Amino acid sequence: MKNPFVLINIFTVTPDDQRRLIDLLTKATGETIKHMDGFITSTLHRSIDGTKVTMYAQWESREKYEAMRRNATASPYLEEALSFAKFEMGAYEVVEIFKKA
């Protein structure tokens, strides 16, 4: 398999909305996104200060990720998140993987 297409999405929220966003992203990923063609894995992170939620996700290709974004089943979750969170998407290619020997 070629190197995956990687997304590091950073959401900025108020501390009062951090749990709400985590619940929404958990639901979106668990019920819909992880079942879509090309999905490999994702990891959800929360900042200690309560102002950020970050999701690291891997897809088989950019094309398969973009197909998911066009899917009507997935888009309402992002629309809801954007109603109370600021979103910064970062798209990356894996250059090197380091593992403990």
Q: What is the DSSP string of 28-58?
A: HHHHTGGGSTTEEEEEEEE-TTSSEEEEEEE
How many domains is the chain partitioned into structurally?
A: 1
pLDDT tens for each residue of 40-85? 999 999 999 999 999 999 999 999 999 998 888 878 888 899 999 9
| Residue pLDDT, tens place only, 1-46 | 578 999 999 999 999 999 999 999 999 999 999 999 999 999 999 9
The reply to whether 101 falls in a domain is no
93: confidence class by pLDDT, cuts 50, 70, 90: confident
| Structural domain contains residue 100 | no
With the C-alpha atoms ordered 13, 16, 22, 23, is the resulting torsion angle positive or negative? negative
Domain hosting 84: range is 5-93
The total of other beta-carbon atoms located within 10 Å of residue 79's CB is 8
Whether 49 is in a domain gets the answer: yes
Do the domain assignments include residue 36?
yes
pTM for the whole structure: 0.89
